[in-house]
């Protein structure tokens, strides 16, 4: 999926929504507030691709995500009267932390609306950063419902609503990430890979780069469960996805912004979609191999690069030094089991089956001897015996040593006298298990 506009013919033409000059001005406002985060090489991906791969460590910001940049830039431009009245925002957690820090630094009060599902770690960080300068309101339902509640409250109270992504000042603030990447990597920079939720970060990056470095390729990354940018590009306008998968919570937006859609459509070279399982696998690789703790949205861009390395995104060609943005590190360790589960299922190492066992002695032994391979491991077994029935159902989870071992396992299942049904990875039951 490519952009509709070739900016190389007129690289200095400012976009009507936001210009590179606004990004430069935001960078000046952010001095001493947002850290110029380091750029770190990722050797495992560089070796696999034979292309230098680096990551921009926005997880090392004071609020552990890039969101501080846009939030502070927007709030710093409020009038004295607006600051005195206070502001309102809605967030899945990271924008809220940026707003909280900005409120504390700039002397205004923020009322922050959050989905009730917001992880405890993010709640505690918001309170720590904002202190008495912020109040939190929790809303049952999706982020989009939370945003509706916040906007209604802003209208009722006369407070300024600080949008998490669809605001020119917020977009300009996020774009300072591109300025830092380009200044550090210079002419070596060939590709940037940026996660997409509402589109504020990729929009700001695209605006600055297409005016200053039109030779750099810009790739945006949607999560499969909330691919709002891809859907909008297919339709030609922002569309509401309805239900989204909240696993990649920092990008779980059902409808991309109007401003951000225009910029993505005009300036972003390619948008790809990455499944949540690939994100989970990359989170584990970042931690175990590279020593980086990334939240799901934070691992989204490097997950795309890893998929390119494995040949899973053949439509993507990385050129020159490739910079992927680790957008956030607000990871809740209580989610580790889910991350591991999604990763193993994605890799084809974990499979689930419904087994109908005859209610007779030796049925389980038959399954173990005839179906289970010597290297296969049962990780989950739930069986319900009903005396009035001839068979008893069991949910069985099996871990394989190698993805290709599933071929032999399926063959043994076909040859077995037992009735065994493999659970499809895209089924409602699998979504329940994950």
- How do residues 388-400 score in pLDDT, each as one tens digit? 556 778 899 999 9
Find, among 223, 239, 238, 306, the residue nearest to 271 by Cα: 223
Query: Which tops the pLDDT comparison, 2 or 345?
Result: 345
Decide the pairing of beta strands 189-195 and 321-326. parallel
Q: Which of 67-71, 75-79, 250-254, 408-412 has the lowest mean pLDDT?
A: 250-254
142 catalytic per annotation: no
Rounded to whole angstroms, the Cα distance separating 4 from 10 reads: 14
> pLDDT band at 387, cuts 50/70/90?
low
Query: Which tops the pLDDT comparison, 331 or 159?
Result: 159
**pLDDT for res 246:** 86
Query: Which 3-state string (H, E, C) describes 105-123?
Result: HHCCCEEEEEECCCCHHHH
Mean pLDDT of 322-327: 98
Q: Which of 28-37, 246-255, 296-305 has the lowest mean pLDDT?
A: 246-255
**pLDDT for res 390:** 65
Rounded to whole angstroms, the Cα distance separating 340 from 345 reads: 9
Decide the pairing of beta strands 270-274 and 160-161. unpaired
Q: Which of 11-25, 126-140, 184-198, 324-338 has the lowest mean pLDDT?
A: 11-25
Residue 328: HSE in the Cβ half-sphere, 13 Å Cα cutoff: 30
Architecture in CATH of 349-433: 2-Layer Sandwich (3.30)
Q: The pTM is what?
A: 0.90
**pLDDT for res 20:** 97
Rounded to whole angstroms, the Cα distance separating 327 from 302 reads: 10
Strands (E), 166-238: 189-195, 217-223
Chain position carrying tokens 């179906």: 371
- SS3 at position 241: coil
Distances (CA, A) of 181 to 264, 295, 414: 19, 21, 54
**pLDDT for res 47:** 97
Mean pLDDT of 334-356: 93
Distances (CA, A) of 49 to 53, 232, 306, 318: 8, 31, 9, 9
Token pair of 216, please?
């750099």
**pLDDT for res 243:** 87
Topology alike, domains 7-65+170-341 and 67-168? yes
> pLDDT band at 270, cuts 50/70/90?
very high
**pLDDT for res 11:** 47
What digits encode the pLDDT tens for the residues 197-229? Answer: 999 999 999 999 999 999 999 999 999 999 999
- 118 with 94: CB under 8 angstroms? no
Rounded to whole angstroms, the Cα distance separating 74 from 76 reads: 6
**pLDDT for res 249:** 87
Helix (H) or strand (E) run with residue 21 in it: helix 20-29
Chain position carrying tokens 């009038």: 79
Token pair of 384, please?
């319900």
Answer yes or no: is pLDDT of 9 > 90. no
| Residue from 3, 56, 65, 67 carrying the catalytic annotation | 67
> pLDDT band at 155, cuts 50/70/90?
very high
DSSP β-bridge partners for residue 161: 88
Burial class (CB in 10 A: 0-12, 13-18, 19+), 243: exposed
Mean pLDDT score of the chain: 92
Q: Which of 237-251, 264-278, 310-324 has the lowest mean pLDDT?
A: 237-251
Question: Percent of the chain having pLDDT more than 70?
Answer: 95
Answer yes or no: is pLDDT of 8 > 50. no
- SS3 at position 11: coil
- DSSP code, position 41: E
Architecture in CATH of 7-65+170-341: 3-Layer(aba) Sandwich (3.40)
| Residue from 142, 301, 327, 343 carrying the catalytic annotation | 327
Chain position carrying tokens 């999604």: 342
Answer yes or no: is pLDDT of 407 > 90. yes
Question: Percent of the chain having pLDDT more than 90?
Answer: 78
Q: Which of 17-21, 217-221, 246-250 has the lowest mean pLDDT?
A: 246-250
Distances (CA, A) of 386 to 326, 336, 338, 361, 394: 51, 35, 31, 14, 12
Domain boundaries, the chain: 7-65+170-341, 67-168, 349-433
User: Yes or no: is domain 67-168 CATH 3.40.50.1100?
Assistant: yes
What digits encode the pLDDT tens for the residues 56-108? Answer: 999 999 999 999 999 999 999 999 999 999 999 999 788 999 999 999 999 99
Gyration radius (Cα) of the chain, Å? 24
- SS3 at position 341: helix
**pLDDT for res 10:** 45
- DSSP code, position 84: H
What digits encode the pLDDT tens for the residues 114-123? Answer: 988 887 878 8
Answer yes or no: is pLDDT of 2 > 80. no
Token pair of 135, please?
């109040």
67 catalytic per annotation: yes
Answer yes or no: is pLDDT of 346 > 90. yes
> pLDDT band at 374, cuts 50/70/90?
very high
Answer yes or no: is pLDDT of 5 > 50. no
Burial class (CB in 10 A: 0-12, 13-18, 19+), 107: exposed
Scanning 66-119, the segments in alpha helix (DSSP H) are 67-76, 80-85, 94-106
Chain position carrying tokens 């030796």: 362
DSSP β-bridge partners for residue 41: 54
**pLDDT for res 388:** 54
């Amino acid at each position: 999926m490519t952009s509709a506009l070739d900016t190389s013919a007129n690289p200095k033409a400012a976009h009507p929504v936001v210009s590179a000059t606004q990004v430069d001005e935001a960078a000046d406002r952010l001095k001493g507030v947002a850290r110029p985060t380091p750029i770190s090489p990722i050797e495992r991906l560089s070796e696999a691709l034979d292309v230098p791969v680096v990551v921009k460590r926005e997880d090392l910001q004071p609020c552990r995500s890039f969101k501080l940049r846009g939030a502070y830039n927007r709030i710093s431009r409020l009038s004295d009267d607006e600051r005195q009245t206070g502001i309102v925002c809605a967030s899945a957690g990271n924008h809220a932390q940026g707003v909280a820090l900005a409120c504390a630094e700039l002397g205004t009060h923020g009322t922050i609306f959050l989905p009730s599902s917001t992880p405890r770690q993010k709640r505690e960080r918001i309170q720590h950063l904002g202190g008495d300068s912020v109040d939190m309101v929790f809303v049952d339902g999706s982020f989009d419902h939370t945003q509706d509640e916040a906007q209604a409250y802003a209208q009722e109270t006369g407070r300024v609503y600080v949008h998490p992504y669809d605001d020119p000042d917020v977009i300009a603030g996020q774009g300072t990430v591109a300025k830092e990447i380009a200044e550090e990597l210079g002419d070596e920079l060939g590709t940037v890979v940026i996660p997409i939720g509402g589109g504020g970060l990729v929009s700001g990056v695209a605006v600055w780069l297409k005016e200053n470095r039109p030779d750099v390729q810009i790739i945006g990354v949607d999560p499969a469960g909330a691919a709002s940018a891809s859907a909008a590009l297919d339709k030609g306008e922002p569309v509401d996805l309805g239900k989204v998968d909240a696993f990649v919570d920092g990008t779980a937006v059902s409808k991309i912004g109007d401003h951000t859609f225009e910029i993505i459509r005009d300036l972003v070279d390619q948008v790809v979609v990455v499944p949540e399982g690939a994100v989970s696998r990359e989170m584990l690789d970042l931690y175990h191999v590279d020593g980086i703790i990334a939240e799901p949205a934070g691992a989204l861009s490097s997950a795309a690069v890893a998929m390119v390395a494995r040949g899973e995104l053949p439509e993507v060609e990385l050129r020159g030094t490739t910079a992927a943005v680790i957008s956030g590190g607000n990871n809740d360790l209580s989610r580790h089991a889910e991350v591991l589960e999604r990763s193993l299922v994605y890799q084809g190492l974990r499979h689930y089956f419904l087994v109908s066992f005859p209610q007779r002695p030796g049925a389980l032994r038959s399954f173990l001897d005839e179906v289970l391979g010597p290297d296969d491991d049962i990780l989950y077994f739930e069986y319900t015996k009903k005396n009035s029935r001839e068979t008893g159902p069991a949910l069985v989870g099996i871990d394989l040593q190698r993805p290709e071992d599933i071929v032999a396992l399926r063959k043994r299942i076909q040859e077995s006298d037992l009735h065994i049904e493999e659970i499809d990875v895209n089924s409602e039951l699998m979504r329940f298990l994950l």
